[in-house]
Amino acid sequence: MTIENKPYVSDPEGETILRDLIMRGGYANVIGVRVAKSLKLKVKAKNKKIAEENARTMCESLRIFNPVVSNCSITAIPKIKPLARGHSKTRHNRR
Amino acid sequence: MTIENKPYVSDPEGETILRDLIMRGGYANVIGVRVAKSLKLKVKAKNKKIAEENARTMCESLRIFNPVVSNCSITAIPKIKPLARGHSKTRHNRR
Amino acid sequence: MGSPYWIGRVTEAFLAALTKEELTYLSKELKREPNRLEKEIIAAEWSEHCSYKSSKKYIKKLPNEGKHVLIGPGYDAGVLDVGDGYVVTVHIESHNHPSAVDPYGGSSTGVGGVIRDIISMGTRPIALLDSLRFAPISKHESANSDSGWLLKNVVKGIGDYGNCIGVPTVGGEVEFDASFADYCLVDVVSIGIGSGKSTVRNTASWGDIIILVGGATGRDGINGAAFASKKYERKERSAVQIADPFTEKLLIEAILEGIESDIIKALKDLGGGGLSCCLSEMSDNLGLGFNIELDQIHIKESGMSPIELMISESQERMVVVVDPTDAKEIGQIFRKYGLRFTTIGKVENHGNLIIKNKKRIAAQLPSHLVANAPLAYRAFKKPAYLLDLNRRQPPVFSPLDLSDTLFLMLSNPTIASKKWIYSQYDFEVGLRTKLQPGIADASVLRLDNGKHLAIKLDGNSKHCYIDPYNGTLGCLSEACRNITCTGATPIGVVDHLQFGNPENPDIFWSFRQAVKAVTDFCKFAKVPVVGGKVSFYNETNRGPIKPTPVIGAIGLIQRGRPVLEARLKEGDTLFVIGNTLEELGGSEYYEFVHNFTGGKVPRVDLKNDQTNRNTVLYLVNNAKVSCMHDCSKGGIATAISEMAILGAVGFELDVDRIPNSCLSLEGILFSESHSRFLIGTQRPDDLENILSSVDGLIFSRIGKASNAKVSFRNEGKCIIDTNIHELTFHHNAIERIMIK
Amino acid sequence: MQLEILYTITILIGEFLSHTIHPMERIGIVVFPGSNCDRDVHRALNHDLKIPADLVWHANSKLSSYDSFVIPGGFSYGDHLRAGAIAAHTPAVEELKKKANKGRMILGICNGFQILVECGLLPGALVTNKSLCFICGWTNIRVETNTTAFTSLLSLGQTIKIPIAHGQGRYIVDKQILASISKKNQVVFRYCQNNPNGSTDSIAAVCNEDRNVMGIMPHPERVPAFGIGHEASLIFRSLWDHLTG
Ligand SMILES: Nc1ncnc2c1ncn2[C@@H]1O[C@H](COP(=O)(O)OP(=O)(O)O)[C@@H](O)[C@H]1O
Ligand SMILES: [Mg+2]
């Protein structure tokens, strides 16, 4: 679940990271940064679709993000990866 | 690019969301929450692999994540979505 | 929770903000039809928010002269002379509509705006205060009920912004009332300090250059001013403003460095109405013309139209005017701080605002015309609800256990400890905080000349709803009382008048009553109004908010004089000054305990009020007392408990010794009559002598502080029997509601 | 009038000092974009404690002429990415690292602590408070070692009152590092009575192995120089004693 400012909403944090860290570090090939927040939920559900729907209703009714400011995209990954907690092996996972 | 606390570091935000919002809201099928920070970088690169490698070197040399407490996973998505900055067409995108 | 309330429709175009009459007037003055861009510029500036078209006539009449006032209302901030070459600036702003939709972004950008007003005067911001209003946060629901969610995010927004820019939030007030359902009021006051020399003179001459500095201009907040001037409709995009306190902090340092180098000739922040308002007001104030080129502006999004550039409300921007020979130096300063800036134009002698786009004139308007909207006439009549309320007799309430009632009063979020809020604010950065929040009636700051500045905000929408005139008078009395308690003499007030739709005659009547009260109080007490703000259209689909004037009182404590807290001390003898009347209308006792609205609200007797304040000031100044607290929301029983909780000490109180003309015990304990003070002293006989010598003063010795037991006695019986730990527990209610 | 004269004299003395004392014997207060306790530290040192110190903009070449530094609190680079993360990559911090390796004294307060951790001069990490809220208030800390140049005037085990104000002050180290810093006596202060932010082992301040670099989360510049609650200012006095021998 990724919560991100809407495209027309500015992102001062991303801009500072780009300007003061990445560009000054000499990484000219990076041309844009947007910061987002992700939530990894571990959900029990019959299938991917139901899991996604569940997550979306919950997200909206509990106001996990403010839809005036942010968009939220939800993807369920069926058992692909156990939640990080307690799984130190996932550390170098690149997916 | 997703930056997430290592398993040994507790995640009070995830815990609070789980306990105060989700469980109290009656969503019993959610059994775990971890909060992470993601950065969406727009990178110019020949291919996905190079882009990921570039990003990883940058990430390590600039310490985009703090290896003491966090893990970082990187995935490149070739041209799937243009970054918002400077793309006025995305302006009325709601989702 | 129902359906999320933010999902609303995107409403009509911005142009709708200009009325037919205004358009006709405009064409007549211009002797031609304005083009689209011109109409948009005018609409932004003639919005209620920027032009004060409904209220200007009334605001102008407020008393605004005093020996400390250097610059009164009408500028970005009021300027007060505090002696030794130092000045203090004050300003108040609200960000109600944006905060109701996006509490985090709305409240933080509100802080940003009011801070830039202080910088605009060439002074360094040294403190913030916040005055907040929400619907009740209930004990049973989670902190994520609508109002809990708003409160949590508003506080986080204010904290994150003020903390980041290093300006301490030193105090404030909070009120909960059901009329704020689905809405909230977020008022912020900022204080600045400077030397008389450094305040910007705001002069310019032909050929000077105009520079836009700070955040890039984007489409954010477009239509914001019109938004705040229209009934609250849930527009999507227009409401969203992302705060960037980091850029603001750089802006503060850069501008102050420019002022120090004496190269900034004129300066103004961009707030509601964006460049349109800023440039038209600035050129009108300077009595000069501006030629502006839009092509150069640093932008966030490509393809912005001239209209969007002119009305964008992107945050953290300012306009500065410098002599061309100083262009290089100011550029160096901005570059040092990594701020983006562009020269957007030149000062001309023609008196017009000329906007060029791609070398062609896109708009040409006389600045004077843009900056001075035709005033709107608003009808007014006494609202019908008042007749109804006045007729409503308070029912006879079945007697409750008085200890339980006291506990309930203390756990009422309007009265309970606000520690959960202010501990999220860095209230000490800057090393000026002499009295931190929570320990006295007002916040006290150290000034550079050895004097102290006291300030407090007060509002009471429950009183003002039942009686706008007396309610407002009460807010003034309370604010002045609060600063007096710390030992300060009032030197000025700021007023923030918040109402519903001014086109509604009922609402406009209340507005006029409030203005009258401010005028009457300030004239009598000889305290000038040094600034203020009017916010109309505070309405939701449920209707208008209760009338909510918020008053900020500013006071000065002379060098070497005591600064007093409200903390009760072991062995203190308790005195009360002032009479207690059966004035329970709009009281927390009626409203919170009995859920009853009606009755007579407390009235202020201006003469007594003054006598009592002067007496108290004498006592503090001459070190006759060990603590002082004013008596307001929740009445005497609450006030004395608050002092005891602060001092962690118990007390015995003789209720029958409290001077009163009440009909009930509840009246004596919980009535909110004004002009009363509670005093603790280690020299009771001394104090009694002094008080007896004051003509017409009502006072009494009512109790004593000792150990941990708390008892209220009446006619030999103990009517409340508890201890300090229990009182403290109930007083911590907000923490219990908000932290799960 | 009198006050003005007093000010003039103070300024004159200040100028006199700044001319007579070589920068080596003055403390450099490193100012980053977004630092906001810099002026407070400056005032506490010069005005209250009479310890000569200058504000130095991070990009100013004068920085290298100083030999001891305070990195003040605030929100350098807006705390973006993580508190201290961006400042840690500036040339100024590179310079500080060189000085640290030569044994020069560096004290990081609050955001300064975060920068020292992010640039690797100090072990561990500082993350968001356990309560998820910014906290401001006074707390008690205990002196865990007085064999550092920052605590020599304090006594071991002494409890002092000190203000805190931070959002990301939860100090985190893993088991190995914790064992190592405990063994080498690098924990300088611990919160006592309560742990306001959830730090590992209630750690409030740590120093490096060579004991010339210390990071502390609370704000010693906010306490009065004399009278009740002045003990925390002994941190600065200890440092000055050390520098002036
Ligand atoms: N929103 C707030 N922000 C900061 N401080 C607050 C806020 N609300 C209340 N306070 C502080 O809490 C204390 C009690 O406030 P209040 O209940 O309004 O005082 P009073 O009893 O005089 O009416 C004061 O020091 C005040 O400054
Ligand atoms: Mg009070």
* Domains of chain D, start order: 2-244 (3.40.50.880)
Q: pTM of the predicted model, to two decimals?
A: 0.91
Nearest to C545 by CA among C496, C601, C491: C496
Is residue D21's pLDDT more than 90? no
Residue A84 pLDDT level (bands cut at 50, 70, 90): very low
**How many residues appear in chain B?**
95
Provide the pLDDT for residue C144.
Answer: 54
Provide the pLDDT for residue C182.
Answer: 87
Provide the pLDDT for residue B42.
Answer: 87
B69 touches chain A (CB under 8 A): no
Provide the pLDDT for residue C419.
Answer: 97
Provide the pLDDT for residue B86.
Answer: 40
Q: Three-state SS for D175?
A: helix
Provide the token pair at D197.
Answer: 């932010």
* CATH class of the domain at C564-740: alpha beta
Ligand 1 centroid to Cα of residue C663, in Å, is 31
Provide the pLDDT for residue D193.
Answer: 87
Provide the pLDDT for residue C692.
Answer: 95
Contacts of C736 (CB under 8 A, 6+ apart): C139
Provide the pLDDT for residue A47.
Answer: 84
Residues 13-32 on B with a CB inside 8 Å of A are 14, 17, 21-22, 25, 27, 29-32
Task: State how far residue C396 is from chain A, nearest Cα, in angstroms.
Answer: 42
Contacts of B22 (CB under 8 A, 6+ apart): A58, A62, B30, B33
Provide the token pair at D175.
Answer: 């088991």
Residue of A nearest to D86 (CA): A21
Residue with token string 């109405």? C273
Task: State how far residue B81 is from chain A, nearest Cα, in angstroms.
Answer: 11
Nearest to C100 by CA among C538, C547, C549: C538
Provide the pLDDT for residue A41.
Answer: 84
- Residues D131-134: contacts with CB under 8 Å, at least 24 apart: D131/B12, D131/C739, D131/D197, D131/D198, D132/B12, D132/B13, D132/B16, D133/C156, D133/C423, D133/C424, D133/D167, D134/C159, D134/C160, D134/C163, D134/C424, D134/C425, D134/C426, D134/D165, D134/D166, D134/D167
Enumerate the β-bridge partners of residue C385.
Answer: none
Nearest to C731 by CA among C630, C646, C655, C669: C646
Provide the pLDDT for residue D189.
Answer: 98
Let me know: does C353 contact C279? Beta carbons within 8 Å.
yes
Is residue B87's pLDDT more than 50? no
Let me know: does C737 contact C137? Beta carbons within 8 Å.
yes
Let me know: does B45 contact B51? Beta carbons within 8 Å.
yes
Residue A7 pLDDT level (bands cut at 50, 70, 90): confident
Task: State how far residue A48 is from chain D, nearest Cα, in angstroms.
Answer: 32
- Nearest 10 degrees: CA dihedral of C436, C440, C442, C447? -50
B94 touches chain A (CB under 8 A): yes
Q: What is the average pLDDT across D175-185? A: 95
Active-site annotation holder among C91, C95, C97, C731:
C95
Tell me the C-alpha distance between C292 and C348, whole Å.
10
Let me know: does A33 contact A22? Beta carbons within 8 Å.
yes
Provide the pLDDT for residue C491.
Answer: 96
Tell me the C-alpha distance between B9 and A70, whole Å.
28
Q: Is the CB of C441 under 6 A from ligand 1?
A: yes
Residue with token string 């602060």? C646
pLDDT tens per residue, range C129-161: 999 999 999 755 544 568 998 999 999 999 999
Provide the pLDDT for residue C448.
Answer: 93
Residue of D nearest to A34 (CA): D81
Provide the pLDDT for residue D231.
Answer: 95
Share of chain B above pLDDT 70, in %: 82
In C6-60, which residue ranges form alpha helices assigned H by DSSP? 20-30, 36-45, 48-51, 56-59
When scoring A5, A8, A21, A90 by the number of chain B Cβ atoms within 10 A, the one with the most, hence best to mutate, is A8
Amino acid sitting at position C560: G
Tell me the C-alpha distance between C82 and C196, whole Å.
10
Helix axes C103-120, C245-260, angle to 10 degrees: 0
Tell me the C-alpha distance between D212 and B24, whole Å.
50
Q: Is the CB of C438 under 6 A from ligand 1?
A: yes
Which chains border D (3 or more CB–CB pairs < 8 Å)? A, B, C
Does C496 qualify as catalytic in the annotation? no
Q: Three-state SS for C19?
A: coil
Does D110 qualify as catalytic in the annotation? yes
Low-confidence ranges of chain C (pLDDT < 70): 1-16, 139-145, 221-240, 740
pLDDT tens per residue, range D216-239: 999 999 999 888 889 999 999 999
A16, A24, A25: residue with CB nearest D78: A16
Share of chain D above pLDDT 90, in %: 86
Q: Is the CB of C162 under 6 A from ligand 1?
A: no
pLDDT tens per residue, range B42-78: 888 888 888 888 888 888 888 888 888 888 888 888 7
Residue to probe by mutation, ligand 1, list C163, C422, C441, C640, most atoms within 8 Å of CB: C422
* A54·B90 Cβ contact <8 A: no
Tell me the C-alpha distance between B42 and D97, whole Å.
32
Top-ranked range on mean pLDDT: pick from A84-93, B75-84, C430-439: C430-439
Provide the pLDDT for residue D121.
Answer: 97
* A45·B38 Cβ contact <8 A: no
Tell me the C-alpha distance between C466 and C590, whole Å.
13
pLDDT tens per residue, range A21-60: 998 888 888 888 999 888 888 888 888 888 888 888 887 7
Provide the pLDDT for residue D154.
Answer: 97
Provide the b/e sequence for C641-668 (b: ≥16 CB within 10 Å): bbbbbbbebbbbbbbeebebebeebbbb
Contacts of D93 (CB under 8 A, 6+ apart): D87, D115, D119
Q: Three-state SS for C176?
A: strand
Nearest to D243 by CA among D63, D49, D92, D56: D49
Q: What is the average pLDDT across D57-81? A: 95
Provide the pLDDT for residue A88.
Answer: 38
Which chains border C (3 or more CB–CB pairs < 8 Å)? A, B, D
Ligand 2 centroid to Cα of residue C577, in Å, is 14
Nearest to D198 by CA among D144, D140, D128: D128
Provide the pLDDT for residue D141.
Answer: 98
Nearest to C78 by CA among C64, C63, C89, C65: C89
